[in-house]
Structure 1
Amino acid sequence: MLRRRWWLSVLAAVAVIGLIGVGVARAVQRVRYGDIHTDGGSPVVAGPGHRFALAVPDRGASVGDHWTATVAPDGIVALVRSEQVAGNIVDRLIGPAVGGGAGTRYFVFAARRAGTVVITLHNCFRGCDRGADRRDTVWAVTVR
């Protein structure tokens, strides 16, 4: 009976530590990216001073993906940074292998003032030298 209680205590401690870890990871993600939006067709609403991120799948530069962002009109939101986060933990820790590096590209914006803006994320696959190699994802963003 004592042995069973010991294992239950260890299991409970591991579960609690795991939940705390997930909570801390989510809090760090929230501070770093703000609200994360993954569907280009859905409208985004933010308040002045808030941070938000638009996320798209990125197969990596070694495959030919090259993402850029355009914002029209200027001044309502500002691009804080663009970064790719690897899709698996090994790539996050030691870097992707040659020919690898797929994950998610985050475009992080700061809402500056009230208004409506259209943000277009462009993927120029392998240089965009042909029309079929370009893919655009469009978001309508309202800052209130």
Structure 2
Amino acid sequence: MRVVVWPVAALLLVGGLGWGGFALYRYETYGTEFTEADLTVEVDAGDRFSLAVLDRGGSVGDGWSAEAGPLLTAQGDRTRYDSLSAYVGEPPAGCCSGTTLFVFDAATAGKTQVTLTNRFQGGHDPSDPENRSVTWEITVR
């Protein structure tokens, strides 16, 4: 019985450390994540946070862009794909839906907005259901 217990305990310890390291990496990379269900955001100066939108998969001329107020420092955007096959090589155009996260650092206290806009194939007609915008109200304490 002792022979089985120690390898299992070691495996659980290593697995737990690996998961904890992944969780720390994810938090350091994205900070606190806010979705379209949380359009009012409060963060402290110096905090990292991300705004997440569902992305049906890129195609030529299709993608999200961000307009952020002056209290925030943009740290880029990243897409987490729903399919593991998207992570093997470069995902082809039109492939792989997922979640696109726009990452920001809160620089100074105040109130501002961030608007994320998806323009399908460069379209600018807001009545087109393929084009849409989402605006968050951000309070930096």
Could you say which TM-score interval applies, normalised by the shorter chain?
0.7 to 0.9
1:138 corresponds to: 135
Matched, 1:123 2:118: yes
Matched, 1:17 2:2: no
> Match of 2:110, as an amino acid?
G
- Counterpart of 1:111 (choices 100, 106, 113) is 106
Q: Percent identity?
A: 32
Q: How does the TM-score come out when normalised to structure 2?
A: 0.82
- For structure 2, the 5+ residue unaligned runs are none
- How far the C-alpha of 1:96 sits from its partner, in A, is 2.5
Q: Provide the secondary structure at the position in 2 that maps to 1:94.
A: coil
CA distance, structure 2, for counterparts of residue 84 and residue 77 of structure 1: 20
Q: Post-superposition shift, 1:55?
A: 1.1
1:53 aligns with 2:50: yes
In the alignment, what sits opposite 1:39? 36
Change (3 A) 1:29 1:77: same
TM-score where L is the length of structure 1: 0.81
* RMSD between superposed Cα atoms in Å: 2.2
Which runs of no fewer than 5 residues in structure 1 stay unpaired? none
1:124–1:40 distance in 2 versus 1, CA, 3 Å: farther
Q: Give the structure with the larger helix fraction.
A: 1
Shift, 1:121, TM fit: 0.8
